[in-house]
């Protein structure tokens, strides 16, 4: 893939700072070179603080797609992003590039007879994943349904009242991490793919914002950043993963990652941990002793729109 496909957004400082085009960036580099390595960069590159920052941004701009990087390049990439966050926003972050673990394939099951619609999962997901507060982006949508319905499109995804409500039940919908994912096939830049542990991820720096994946997903699993995501500084989750909750930029796609920054450290996803009713079951499908395997073996499970052949790794069940 030629690096020329990459978006100007890569060079764009967040929070309304002046946009830097590829042209002005290269011009700034020439000025820096002329000024020598000691001085601050001035002129057409006002938001580049110094030559180190400019060099880091240069390397960042021309990096490979994450899928094609060697382990050394991945390590250098996250180190560079950590350094840039410190230089640009004086923010100390921990960024992981933890790889999928051997013999792990993640799966999720949602107990529709237990969920009471409290939305603790939604809130936990927003906090954990640094979701844009301005647009009120959510990865999870909870639908309030009438008895007998099993299709969330016929439910109410915008209820605002006390829960639970008699004779209603609740169904959570998020990215299902499909094994045969139409979103992946639709992406023209290979910016989205399925990892060996089953997590469907996005390299935000390779997304060109065409939104083909969003259109291809039959489950409303993807979210597009129409603006630069805004998270109050004191609420930013600083424990991040390159493919997960690191700060996104305007014009790129994002989605549930099964909380890759948590699950590859052996923790539950934030939604499953936050659920007060135990409706959310997450685990390793390859482990015969896992709770998810117990659910699949012993409960009546179903998958949404199974007839599409997308093979979601997300099931619904009842007690």
Strands 253-255 and 222-224: antiparallel
Determine, following the binding rule CB under 6 A, whether residue 255 of this chain makes contact with ligand SF4: yes
Determine, following the binding rule CB under 6 A, whether residue 264 of this chain makes contact with ligand SF4: no
Residues 213, 210: Cα–Cα separation, whole Å: 8
Nearest residue to 237 (alpha-carbon basis) of 94, 79, 83: 94
Residues 132, 134: Cα–Cα separation, whole Å: 6
Q: Of residues 269-288, which lie at the interface with ligand SF4 (CB under 6 A)?
A: 269-271
Buried-exposed string 112-121: b where 16+ CB fall within 10 A, e elsewhere: bebbbbbbeb
Determine, following the binding rule CB under 6 A, whether residue 25 of this chain makes contact with ligand SF4: no
> Of the two residues 85 and 256, which places its CB atom closer to ligand SF4 in the complex?
256
Residue count at the site for ligand SF4 (CB under 6 A)? 28
Phi, psi of 284 (to 5 degrees): -90, 115
265 three-class SS? coil
Nearest residue to 56 (alpha-carbon basis) of 91, 19, 24, 82: 82
Taking a C-beta distance cutoff of 8 angstroms, is the pair 225, 12 a contact?
Answer: no
Closest distance to ligand SF4 from the beta carbon of 313 (Å): 9
Phi-psi label, residue 99: left if phi above 0, alpha if psi -120 to 50, beta otherwise: beta
- Of 22-30, 94-102, 144-152, 267-275, which part binds ligand SF4 (CB under 6 A)? 267-275
Per-residue x/- marks for ligand SF4, 212-231, CB under 6 A? -----x-x-xx---------
Determine, following the binding rule CB under 6 A, whether residue 259 of this chain makes contact with ligand SF4: yes
Taking a C-beta distance cutoff of 8 angstroms, is the pair 49, 60 a contact?
Answer: no
Closest distance to ligand SF4 from the beta carbon of 314 (Å): 8
Residue in 248, 261, 310, 317 binding ligand SF4, rule: CB under 6 A = 310
> Of the two residues 25 and 139, which places its CB atom closer to ligand SF4 in the complex?
139
Per-residue x/- marks for ligand SF4, 150-189, CB under 6 A? ------------------------xxxxx--xxx------
Residues 223, 217: Cα–Cα separation, whole Å: 11
Residue in 77, 97, 129, 279 binding ligand SF4, rule: CB under 6 A = 129
Determine, following the binding rule CB under 6 A, whether residue 257 of this chain makes contact with ligand SF4: yes
Determine, following the binding rule CB under 6 A, whether residue 143 of this chain makes contact with ligand SF4: no
Closest distance to ligand SF4 from the beta carbon of 199 (Å): 9
Buried-exposed string 166-191: b where 16+ CB fall within 10 A, e elsewhere: eebbbbbbbbbbbeebbbbebbebeb
> Of the two residues 62 and 302, which places its CB atom closer to ligand SF4 in the complex?
302
Binding site for ligand SF4 (CB under 6 A): 124-125, 128-129, 139-140, 174-178, 181-183, 200, 217, 219, 221-222, 255-259, 269-271, 310
């Amino acid at each position: 893939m030629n690096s020329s496909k990459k978006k100007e957004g890569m060079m764009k400082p967040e929070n309304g700072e002046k946009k830097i085009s590829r042209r002005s960036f290269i011009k700034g580099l020439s000025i820096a070179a002329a000024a020598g390595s000691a001085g601050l960069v001035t002129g057409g590159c006002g938001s580049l603080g110094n030559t180190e920052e400019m060099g880091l941004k240069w390397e960042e701009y021309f990096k490979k797609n994450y899928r094609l990087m060697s382990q050394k390049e991945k390590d250098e990439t996250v180190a560079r992003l950590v350094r840039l966050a410190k230089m640009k926003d004086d923010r100390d972050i921990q960024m992981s590039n933890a790889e999928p673990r051997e013999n792990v394939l993640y799966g999720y099951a949602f107990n529709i007879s237990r969920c009471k619609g409290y939305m603790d999962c939604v809130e936990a997901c927003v906090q954990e994943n640094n979701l844009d507060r301005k647009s009120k982006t959510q990865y999870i949508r909870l639908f309030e349904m009438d008895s007998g319905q099993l299709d969330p499109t016929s439910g109410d995804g915008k209820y605002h009242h006390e829960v639970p409500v008699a004779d209603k039940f609740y169904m959570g919908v998020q990215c299902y991490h499909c094994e045969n994912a139409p979103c992946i096939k639709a992406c023209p830049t290979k910016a989205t793919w399925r990892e060996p542990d089953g997590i469907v991820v996005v390299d935000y720096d390779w997304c060109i914002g065409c939104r083909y994946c969003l259109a291809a997903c039959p489950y409303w699993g993807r979210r597009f950043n129409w603006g630069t995501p805004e998270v109050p500084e004191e609420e930013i989750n600083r424990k991040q993963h390159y493919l997960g909750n690191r700060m996104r930029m305007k014009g790129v796609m994002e989605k549930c990652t099964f909380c890759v920054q948590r699950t590859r450290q052996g923790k539950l996803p934030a939604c499953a941990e936050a659920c007060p009713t135990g409706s959310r079951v997450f685990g390793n499908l390859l482990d015969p002793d896992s709770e998810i395997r117990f659910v699949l073996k012993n409960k009546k499970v179903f998958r949404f729109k199974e007839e599409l052949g997308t093979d979601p790794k997300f099931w619904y069940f009842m007690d």
